[in-house]
Amino acid sequence: MKNEMTCENNSSSDDEDIFMQGGIPKPISMYSSAFATAPQVTDLDADDDDDDDDDIALNLDAFTKPRRRGRPSKRARTSANTTASQKQATAKNAAHGTKQKNRSVFDISSGEESDEVVVVESHNDETNMDAHDKSVAASLAQARAVLATQANEEKIAADVQRLAKEQSERVERSRCQEKQRQESERVRKQAEEARLKAAQTAAPVQLKVRSGQNQIKMRIRRSDPVLKMLGPFCKKFDLNLPNAVMQFDGEQVEESDTPDTLELEEGMLIDVITRS
C-alpha cells in the first residue's frame, strides 16, 4: 500500500504550507530557519511512483546533522579572534593590575553565540589592607616624629632660657660682689689716708727711752717708726748700735712699728737692750 503526500491550502495566507509525513500534517513557517535552510527534496529512487518515504527520511536527516564545510564556521572564526583579543587584553590588564573574565553573549543578528571579554578591576582586599596599613603606619611615624621634634625643641628652648637666667644671675652676683669689693677698698683707702693725715698733723708723742741707768725723753711723730729713736739714743750713751734692740712691754719692736700701731701714749717707756 502506498503512502500519499498531499498539499492543501486551507487559508488565504501564503505564510504556511502543510507538510505531510506519515499522514500527519505539520505546519512549517516560511520564516523559520529550518525552512529557509532546508535542502531541496529530490526523488532519490528516480521512479514515477509516489513512494517517497525513503526520500523524505533522507532529507529530514539534513536538518539534524551539523554543517560541515572546508571553511570554519562564523562561530569558530569569532572564537579564534576572541581568543587573540583575550590574550592581548590579559597582557594589558596584567600590566595595569586588572583581571578579566569571559562570558557568553548571544548575537541576535547572526543567531550564534560568541565569547566577550569583560575587564574587571582587581580588588585584592589583602593588598589594599596592607597598603592602607603601611600608609597609616607611615602617617603615625611622621606624626610621632613631629611631636618628638616639637618636644625636643620645647626642651631645648626651656634649657636655653634656664641657662640664660642662670648666667644672668651669675653676672649680677659677680657685679654686686665686685661693687662691694670696690666699695670696701675705697673705704679702706680713705681710712688709711685719713689716719696718715691725722698722724702727720698731730702733735708728736713724748716717750721715755732707757738703758740701764741711762734714760732720756724723746719726741716722735705717731706715723714714724719707733726704731727711729734708737740711733740717737746709742750715739748719746756710746752704745754699740748693731747689738742694740728696743723692746716695749717685753716684746721686741719691729721696723714697721709706730706709736699708733703700738698704741703708745704720752710718757710710756721704751727699753733699749744691748746684746754682747
Stretch 167-184: mean pLDDT: 92
Within 8 A by CB and 6+ apart from 200, the residues are 221, 223
Residue 121 pLDDT > 50, yes or no? no
The alpha-carbon radius of gyration of the chain (Å, integer) is: 73
Pairing of strands 205-211, 269-274: parallel
Higher pLDDT, 91 or 173: 173
Tens of pLDDT along 82-118?
Answer: 555 566 656 555 555 444 444 444 444 454 545 444 4
161: its cell numbers:
632660657
Tens of pLDDT along 31-50?
Answer: 444 444 444 545 545 555 55
- The rounded distance, in Å, linking the Cα atoms of 14 and 162 is 114
Residue 184 pLDDT > 90, yes or no? yes
Residue 140 has a pLDDT of: 83
Residue 65 has a pLDDT of: 54
Q: Coil, strand or helix: which one is 117?
A: strand
Handedness of CA 42, 44, 48, 51 (dihedral sign): negative
- The rounded distance, in Å, linking the Cα atoms of 99 and 76 is 25
Tens of pLDDT along 221-242?
Answer: 888 888 989 889 898 888 888 8
For the domain made up of 205-274, the CATH class stated in words is alpha beta
Residue 89 has a pLDDT of: 57
Residue 75 has a pLDDT of: 55
Among the residue ranges 32-41, 59-68, 121-130, the one predicted with the least confidence is 32-41
Percent of the chain past pLDDT 90, that is, above it, reads: 9
* pLDDT band (50, 70, 90) for residue 182: very high
Is 61 in contact with 55 (CB distance < 8 Å)?
no
With a threshold of 0.75, does the pTM exceed it? no
55: its cell numbers:
526520500
N- to C-terminal Cα distance for the chain? 199
Where is 29: in which H helix or E strand? strand 24-29
Higher pLDDT, 74 or 251: 251
